[in-house]
Structure 1
Amino acid sequence: MPSVELFKNVAEDDRPLDEAGFNCFSRHRRVLLLQGPNGPFFSRLRELLVARGSQVTKVNFNGGDDFFYRTGDVVRFTQPMVLWESFLRDLLARRRIDAVVVFGTSRRQHRIAARVAAALGIAFWAFEEGYVRPDYITLERGGVNADSPLAPLAMGDVPKVAVPSKPRKFRHSFRKMALHSFWYFAGGMAGARHYPHYRHHKPIGVHELVRWIRAALRKQLYRWQERELREQLLASDHPHFFLAPLQVYNDSQIRVHSPWRRIEDFIEWTVFSFAAHAPVDSVLVFKHHPMDRGHTDYAATIDACAARFGASGRILYIHDAHLPSLLHRCMGLVTINSTTGLQALFHRVPVIALGRCFYAKPGLTYQGPLDAFWNDPGAVDMNIFTRFRNYLIRVSQINSSFYADDMLVPVPERQRWTLQRRRLARALFAVGLVTVDAYSGSAWDFAATVNVLATLLVG
């Protein structure tokens, strides 16, 4: 298990408490962890907290949680969700918990925990993917995204703070996230019989693994199929366009904090408004979310909407293109509540957010109706945006990674090579075990196999 030294460079003891960092937990003596990001991050966080004198309890809800968090004070919730609140209240009282820590606030068990913590006067801390990516993670008290304490803050109340230092970079984060997600879902499948009532906020099953394999194949296919479209959009003689980056089809930010329940509804609404009100020589580009390649394809929906509303030829759809390059050619961005809006503002692109989100503020984003946005999106006031971004990083962003924390402390080259050889040997041994088990002629014990692999590859 990684050492607490991993966090030393990120959480110095002399950092002020109003600055985002792991030091915010130092005031809490008894901490309860619920679900974290896929991977060992919460297990590492436990090491940090215990080393600093805190007592840490973890609730596991499925086999994926068990896969990555197997030691320490672990409580397993195996009952129907209707009993979760009473179970939680009893656990908070018995352990005398003074802080609850979660990843994301839209999962049902976390929404209930936030409400219970507020009622009992217990601190509620939420991690989330970084608002400023790729080298930050988010940590806020009370909630994240639309529930962020930044949401009700008026721009006039945002103080001017120093420009943040250049962030430390992390390599291979996406690859590690994908690997952790694979093992998390495999663990969830293996442990399903121990958690008969659990319903994950995202699908768990063999079909989900198939979709991720399909996503890898589609990435290569789109790279070849869309090469001419990418060149066309990025050519200097191509008209500037409006960009609508799509969010993941099951993004809780859509279900909980937007007027729509489905991405298809957002597409239809946007195309209708664009066809009826945008200049006739303008173009609208929908960009598929890279995490959604294997799950959805909206080509038929977009084509049907464009034909129905008389905008065929003016609506384009692309899956894989370098977002910053698109933003350089973009004259306005339409989003529901994605943090892509912050990236657009950074590139001086006007943004309209149609759902609830913490950065949709007067002076920062377009406040009028979508119908009017097409003709006069305005300009980004970079002084206001820079002040907001600096403050955002100061109070809510930690220069860290959920998936690449081993990069925080440089590993000597010789030690890194030894570690890589050890991992390769373990992986080959694990593959051999699975092969022997699969062809042994007896029934394949999937749960036992996953537990063996967990020990070999993670433990």
Structure 2
Amino acid sequence: MLLQGPPGPFFKRLQLYLEGNGHDVWRVVFNPADRFFSNRHGRVNFYGDLGEWENWFSDFIEGAGIDHVILFGAERPAHRIARSIAAEQGIDVVSLEEGYIRPGYVTVERGGNNASSPLAGALPLAGLNYEEQPDFPAEDFKGFEPMCFQNAVHYTVRALFSFGKQKAMFHREVPLFPEIFFWLRSTWRRWTKQTLNFTTIQNLLEHHDGNYYLVPLQVDSDSQLRGAALGWSTLKLISATLKSFARHAPPGKRLVFKIHPLERGRSNHASLIPNMARAFGIEDRVDVVDTGSLGLLTRHSAGMITINSTSGLSALHHGVPLLVVGAAFYAVPELAVIGNGHPDFDSFWHSRHVADKRTRHAYLRWVKHEALVMGDFYAAKGVHAACQNILLKLAEYRRAEKTEMEARSAC
């Protein structure tokens, strides 16, 4: 059974691919946008609310003999319910997300992603060899522009043609006309501030190499942030880091905030942060950028602070101190400073806690091997690769299930 996928036709193509390889596939659609990007064959229209969804889903998967549920976004309200019921009935859940490492990868895991990932809080078992796993994907599928177009179509159809209980099933609100304004403002800000961003980044790399702390901000509506932030928000993170930096950061250090490209048009953080920095008397030590290579900025930084963004993996790759404020699958004491909702910013400015290179790279290769497959949800070539690799993962999970059953029988 396929539940909600990423905006656009990916789940439609995945259904066709799985059916073409001998699988029976049902697809549940919750609103007109899901329906627009679906196949008539095997489609089930659900018209209820979350309360009705729980009973309906439980009855359907039991009666239809479902053995795998595939969904995108483990923390969406409907998907949290589905994961819980599937676990009770012993049905495997395959949870997809944008790649933990991008571009070129998508995330495919059993049970959940991010804080609910089966990898959460763990390190690879001793003796496992991941030396042959590549450090970076072989191909960038160039999915950003198709993603923007497919998202625009999806949310336009959803906003114009959804009524009643269909709206109650939205995992997040995307008002149509404000959203158009935000995207136009994002484009305007990108082009008008391009020179300023370039100059700021160049100045950091040339004159402050290794002397600035990087804070990559997340998208406020991201279910990962809402579901596993442990009470933290973007605004709270900005305030807390500025306050602590002003009082306890070593002289000569700088603080750099990187605004997420998908949040650039929605927020006013680019003006809020300098104003707050001025109030704390550190306006000459704080920078804000909304473009540029995260990897490049991370590599030349003194450390990174994040709530639970997958940007933290960049800090692990480049070997800089990392403070994880909320719940994240890579929040492992051997790898990072763990805030667990109560971070000690004051001490972090002086932290040198970094795992050795071999441990860090073995961990990243393990994550790629266990949780990622080559592909993309939006670009045509990447979609085909993702479908192929998801099918391979399903076969891998079936083998694992068989092994687990045989082990239980032996006991």
Asked if Structure 1 and Structure 2 have the same fold, meaning a TM-score greater than 0.5 normalized by the shorter chain, the answer is: yes
What amino acid is aligned across from residue 176 of structure 1 in structure 2? P
Q: Compute the TM-score of the two structures, normalised by the length of structure 2.
A: 0.86
Contact 2:73 2:95 in 1 (8 A): yes
Q: Which of 102, 118, 142 does residue 149 from structure 1 map onto?
A: 118
Q: For the structure 1 residues 152 and 287, does the alpha-carbon distance in structure 2 shift closer, same or farther, using more than 3 Å as the test?
A: closer
Q: For the structure 1 residues 157 and 189, does the alpha-carbon distance in structure 2 shift closer, same or farther, using more than 3 Å as the test?
A: same
Contact 1:249 1:296 in 2 (8 A): no
CA distance in 2: counterparts of 1:253 and 1:409, whole angstroms: 26
CA distance in 2: counterparts of 1:103 and 1:237, whole angstroms: 40
Contact 2:315 2:322 in 1 (8 A): yes
Tell whether 2:74 aligns with 1:105: yes
Counterpart for residue 181 of structure 2: 210
Tell whether 2:305 aligns with 1:334: yes
Aligned runs of 1:214-293 on 2, under 5 Å? 214-236=185-207, 240-293=211-264
How many residue pairs get aligned? The number is 379
Counterpart for residue 394 of structure 1: 369
Q: Compute the TM-score of the two structures, normalised by the length of structure 1.
A: 0.78
Contact 1:349 1:380 in 2 (8 A): no
Counterpart for residue 141 of structure 2: 171
Q: Which of 289, 292, 295 does residue 321 from structure 1 map onto?
A: 292
Question: What secondary structure sits across from 2:274 in the alignment?
Answer: helix
Counterpart for residue 3 of structure 2: 34
Q: For the structure 1 residues 408 and 251, does the alpha-carbon distance in structure 2 shift closer, same or farther, using more than 3 Å as the test?
A: closer
Contact 2:277 2:286 in 1 (8 A): yes
Q: Which of 64, 87, 98 does residue 118 from structure 1 map onto?
A: 87
Q: Deviations over 1:137-167 (max 9, x none)?
A: 0000010000000014245658332322463
Aligned runs of 1:22-171 on 2, under 5 Å? 32-154=1-123, 159-165=128-134, 167-171=137-141
Question: Please, which moves more after superposition, 40-49 or 102-111?
Answer: 40-49
CA distance in 1: counterparts of 2:168 and 2:351, whole angstroms: 51
Q: For the structure 1 residues 197 and 158, does the alpha-carbon distance in structure 2 shift closer, same or farther, using more than 3 Å as the test?
A: farther
Q: RMSD over aligned Cα, in angstroms?
A: 2.2
What amino acid is aligned across from residue 49 of structure 1 in structure 2? L
Q: Which of 173, 177, 185 does residue 155 from structure 2 map onto?
A: 185
User: Displacement of 1:207 after TM fit?
Assistant: 1.9
Contact 1:246 1:335 in 2 (8 A): yes
User: Displacement of 1:320 after TM fit?
Assistant: 1.6
Percent identity of equivalent pairs: 34
Q: For the structure 1 residues 36 and 154, does the alpha-carbon distance in structure 2 shift closer, same or farther, using more than 3 Å as the test?
A: same
Question: Please, which moves more after superposition, 142-151 or 320-329?
Answer: 320-329
Question: What secondary structure sits across from 2:365 in the alignment?
Answer: helix
Q: For the structure 1 residues 158 and 41, does the alpha-carbon distance in structure 2 shift closer, same or farther, using more than 3 Å as the test?
A: farther
Contact 2:49 2:169 in 1 (8 A): yes
Contact 1:249 1:262 in 2 (8 A): yes
User: Displacement of 1:229 after TM fit?
Assistant: 1.9
Contact 1:34 1:59 in 2 (8 A): yes
User: Displacement of 1:117 after TM fit?
Assistant: 0.7
Counterpart for residue 170 of structure 2: 199
Question: What secondary structure sits across from 1:56 in the alignment?
Answer: coil
Counterpart for residue 352 of structure 2: 377
CA distance in 2: counterparts of 1:40 and 1:163, whole angstroms: 33
Question: What secondary structure sits across from 1:153 in the alignment?
Answer: coil
Contact 2:214 2:258 in 1 (8 A): yes
User: Displacement of 1:261 after TM fit?
Assistant: 4.7
Counterpart for residue 14 of structure 1: none
CA distance in 1: counterparts of 2:85 and 2:384, whole angstroms: 38
Q: Deviations over 1:315-349 (max 9, x none)?
A: 22111222222123211011111111111221222
Q: Deviations over 1:233-271 (max 9, x none)?
A: 122466620100100121222221113353101111111
When Rg is computed on C-alpha atoms for both structures, the one with the higher figure is 1
User: Displacement of 1:299 after TM fit?
Assistant: 3.1
CA distance in 2: counterparts of 1:73 and 1:176, whole angstroms: 26
Q: For the structure 1 residues 71 and 204, does the alpha-carbon distance in structure 2 shift closer, same or farther, using more than 3 Å as the test?
A: farther
User: Displacement of 1:395 after TM fit?
Assistant: 1.0
Question: What secondary structure sits across from 2:193 in the alignment?
Answer: helix
Contact 1:176 1:404 in 2 (8 A): yes
